[in-house]
Structure 1
């Protein structure tokens, strides 16, 4: 489930912030200096903002599976040590470069960074910031970019989910799974079957809006889904587990169903039996959230704007499982 880091544990003088770099003030940041070891909280000297950059006072930073992988040296992109984890955050603008036109000092924003959000401050390109209205709490806003961005991309853009269709989501109690349930149920008016690995996780998914649930640690996922929907199958699958769970979910698809591959939290990448695609005319597709930022930024930006709008309209309500102070963060 979603978790956030609270970066503003202790107040810092506003006068010193406004004074700029000349005041000699430092800020705290979580640093990964050695892989597979606890993070260290250290004082960091701020750097000047470039003309296109913005300095943000970070209030909350999302904790994601990618942060854990990066701190263990298992992320697809190897980062140079030391580095600061944190890919999504919310806060207020402290300072802007001379060429910045999208935000101004004092604006409330969410940001998508490249592993530097778990700190009291973050300097970031203006293109990676989105303004948020006063009605959207900063804590909830920090959870929107990755989990809800992925859910909206998977359901709306890739699978083209329609009202009344049935969506099967695996790892349903994880941050992305809960976001899929929220978007599918409350935005797209679809019916959701939540699949998870324990009764407790299934219960949470049901509390968050799923119409039914399946504990796939207790037997065949395909057989359980068939008992719920019949032999016709489900229209859409959003899978973050991989391995045998992916294959069972694939076999649960209806005619012209769509399965969206989001990740491999189970640790195994399954091979797709192409004959299954052919027999039911189903589609298998992927969603790599981060690549849209580079390959199709207008779509990427639009998806985040939609997430903010849905949250403002209270059509979605992000679930936050835990909130940690900055000094409590550990990725080992």
Structure 2
């Protein structure tokens, strides 16, 4: 089988396409014939050795795939050969075959195509875990989403609307905000040309949002947190800006606010039953048309370095996928 390999840490152009032996599952594992693999910002960080998860070299990057089960390992009962699944792999996704723990595989219902499924698992899983589990977002509350046109941001916009919240989408350009509006945002902030705090105040009558979803970090974090409402929940999702912010903790005291960490991958690993319940709800919303994953580009397996470079340059809207 063909696979993209990271033999040394570095930028996307250091990756190589290689031919490897076919994979065999261990106990509790399955091998998936990959039909589509989604590209996520952490994939860029992993190959550069800048992420909290550090696989040993050499490895195949790629953390989520969709395809058909090729083989099942000892002890696997709920999955069978030929079954269509979406799987969270952590690594190994950018290849023609991938290994996943059986507990990390979700059978796909009829009518869900593989590209959509691959683009769905991490982004929507992260945003559901953040908004439903960690923030307990309720109907009628106000949600501010930073980086609203990215994969997890756009998912957060849609999930916020599915819950019944008022969603304010913030992004760096009018083009990105147009996409957020297409996916349900009620109001928008272009922090490329508008003052973030002034615009938040204007859109919330000075009360601030109940929940802030932040996958960006950097310079946006402090002005956003200063604007949060009483008993607000600030979700720390990621640092796409490249900078990890330092927030003055007196702000949490003054607003009675919570700073809440979101680590979906660890949640899925530690709490597989809760993860399965969340994924089932997401699939119901998908079938009901409440969720519409936006795939902005597709790449061949050999073009994976180019796809990761585009992601590293933060030029992606929605999700991009690799189709081996």
Q: Give TM-score, length-normalised by structure 2.
A: 0.89
Deviations 1:202-252 (A, max 9, x none): 222112211111111224211111112211111111011113311111122
Aligned residue number for residue 126 of structure 1: 102
How many equivalent pairs are there?
305
Pairwise mapping of residues 282-301 of structure 1 onto structure 2 (< 5 A)?
A: 282-301=257-276
CA deviation after TM superposition for structure 1 residue 254, in Å: 1.5
Aligned residue number for residue 6 of structure 2: 32
CA deviation after TM superposition for structure 1 residue 114, in Å: 2.2
CA deviation after TM superposition for structure 1 residue 266, in Å: 1.6
8 Å CA contact 1:141, 1:308 repeated in 2: no
SS of match in other structure, 2:240: coil
SS of match in other structure, 1:118: coil
Deviations 1:20-58 (A, max 9, x none): xxxxxxx11111223223422221101332242212111
8 Å CA contact 2:183, 2:292 repeated in 1: no
Which of 104, 121, 126 does residue 150 from structure 1 map onto?
A: 126
Aligned residue number for residue 232 of structure 2: 257
- Between the aligned partners of 1:113 and 1:103, the Cα distance in structure 2 is 16
Q: Does residue 231 in structure 1 map to residue 206 in structure 2?
A: yes
SS of match in other structure, 1:329: helix
Deviations 1:80-130 (A, max 9, x none): 222111100000112222421011111110111021011111122211111
- Between the aligned partners of 2:228 and 2:27, the Cα distance in structure 1 is 50
Aligned residue number for residue 72 of structure 1: 48
8 Å CA contact 2:221, 2:247 repeated in 1: no
Aligned residue number for residue 112 of structure 1: 88
- Between the aligned partners of 1:87 and 1:305, the Cα distance in structure 2 is 20
8 Å CA contact 1:29, 1:43 repeated in 2: yes
SS of match in other structure, 1:285: strand
SS of match in other structure, 2:229: strand
Aligned residue number for residue 304 of structure 1: 279
8 Å CA contact 1:196, 1:214 repeated in 2: yes
8 Å CA contact 1:147, 1:176 repeated in 2: yes
Q: Give TM-score, length-normalised by structure 1.
A: 0.87
Aligned residue number for residue 313 of structure 2: none
Aligned residue number for residue 12 of structure 1: none
8 Å CA contact 1:144, 1:307 repeated in 2: no
* CA RMSD across the alignment: 1.6
CA deviation after TM superposition for structure 1 residue 291, in Å: 1.6
Query: What runs of 5+ residues in structure 2 fail to find an aligned partner?
Result: 310-324
Query: What runs of 5+ residues in structure 1 fail to find an aligned partner?
Result: 1-26
Aligned residue number for residue 22 of structure 1: none
8 Å CA contact 2:104, 2:272 repeated in 1: no
